[in-house]
Copies of this chain bind each other. A is one copy, B any other.
């Protein structure tokens, strides 16, 4: 067994090969954009009286980027430390696959979002987008947590990032969909992709590791570090790439209210579904975040605080109920072993967010948005915009996303099933000792 799960050669090989490929491709394809290039930025300044240093996109976006960055590395990383003996792997593998994914995503997204004379232009916005794509991979990681080797996770990331970029391209560039906070592109995609992967990797004898598939007191506190950071910075996440000015401001605020309402729903239903009325840390750690997922599409629209709170309350409710009633069924009937319950935190709330986004878009009007309409719905400018068809395209985007996730997860799952990655045996899942010096 020690032989078959050894990372001695497997992990160095894949890491070094991938990084060398990345470096070569970056050398061939990646260039500074107008705001990061010494010559271009300062040339712009000279030719135009209106470009001052304070208008560099850095000052609009970098604080949001850093909040997103914290969500990716601390938020996701620590959220998954709830398992009693899997903290090193949770934070560590999260770190590894995120560091890989953000580089690979820069290339894939740059390729699909439009090359400039054959080159990919990078700046803080591409950094945020790369972190977003990484988030999707980390969501899927939650489904297979404890049952995969780091090599498997890197292979998963290669495929998932690629398919994410294609799906994002279809939604944003072809269908003109709005999805600034990624209810569809990030959460729905990441969740169903991961669920299909874990279905394909189904382990009938996983109960051999059952005693380690639970938390202890301190591991739950470490996980709360992740939860709270995700919760606090979700307003930054949803608003990070919206247009400047009112949309960014509004998105952050809508998300803030959605999360607050979601938290009350989470506590309410967590106590209600427990025979003794005791709160369950699993719910608090996860369901309280569903409100951020569920306003990921509509957050930049004129959803209002009122609308955001309703959506958040619903999201928290379905998320707790999902953990209590749906997850066990998914495992026993559909053979979907979802370690972190991503279906409840990202899957259902992501779909809810997509639907809310479609409805809110369909209700948009020039009377309500005034000259701000074009800032939210880019296609106003091209004259193609009418609210009903917009709503329809949003709905189609959800369907496309689900299709891509299911297809992609299936393909990736079968690739991950090959017995070459050093996956843990059923008896040693959820155990740091397999891959770490402890």
Contact = CB atoms under 8 A, between A and B. Distances in A.
Interface of A: 2, 6-12, 15-16, 18-19, 22-23, 26-27, 30-32, 35-43, 45-46, 53-60, 62-63, 66-67, 69-70, 73-74, 77-78, 81, 85, 87-88, 91-92, 95-96, 99-100, 102-103, 106, 122-124, 127, 150, 217-218, 220-222, 224-225, 228-229, 231-233, 235-236, 244-250, 252-253, 256-257, 259-261, 263-265, 267-269, 271-272, 274-281, 284, 288, 302, 304-306, 309-310, 313, 368-373, 375-376, 435-438
B124 A92 contact: no
A336 to B, nearest CB: 24
Nearest to A248: B58
A40 B12 CA distance: 56
Nearest to A306: B27
Given A38-B373, A69-B232, A30 B249 contact: no
Given A22-B309, A56-B249, 13 more contacts: A23-B309, A32-B253, A38-B250, A53-B60, A56-B248, A58-B245, A62-B249, A73-B232, A74-B229, A77-B224, A87-B220, A96-B263, A217-B438
A59 B54 contact: yes
A155 to B, nearest CB: 14
A319 to B, nearest CB: 15
Contact of A244 (B54, B87, B218, B264): B54
Task: Please report whether the interface of chain A is mostly helix, strand, loop or mixed according to DSSP.
Answer: helix
Contacts of A279: 7, 11, 88, 92, 435-437
Contacts of A370: 38-40, 42-43
Those 8 A-B pairs whose CB atoms lie nearest each other, nearest first: A8-B277, A38-B372, A39-B370, A53-B245, A15-B268, A99-B263, A41-B246, A58-B249
A73 B231 contact: yes
Contact of A277 (B11, B22, B55): B11
A45 B243 CA distance: 15
9 contacts: A8-B276, A22-B309, A30-B304, A43-B371, A66-B233, A78-B225, A88-B221, A95-B263, A106-B305
B39 A261 contact: no
Contact of A284 (B6, B59, B92, B274): B92
A372 to B, nearest CB: 3
Nearest to A7: B277
A58 B103 CA distance: 30
A70 B232 CA distance: 7
Report copies per complex. 3
B372 A42 contact: yes
Contacts of A40: 370
A238 to B, nearest CB: 13
B371 A39 contact: yes
A247 B96 contact: no
Nearest to A224: B91
A56 B54 CA distance: 10
A263 B376 CA distance: 37
A15 B247 CA distance: 31
A286 to B, nearest CB: 13
A222 B309 CA distance: 31
Contacts of A16: 264-265, 268
B7 A278 contact: yes
Given A246-B41, A306-B26, A267 B372 contact: no
Contacts of A87: 217, 220-221
Contact of A67 (B23, B66, B310): B66
A41 B91 contact: no
A58 B268 CA distance: 33
Nearest to A11: B271
A60 B222 CA distance: 33
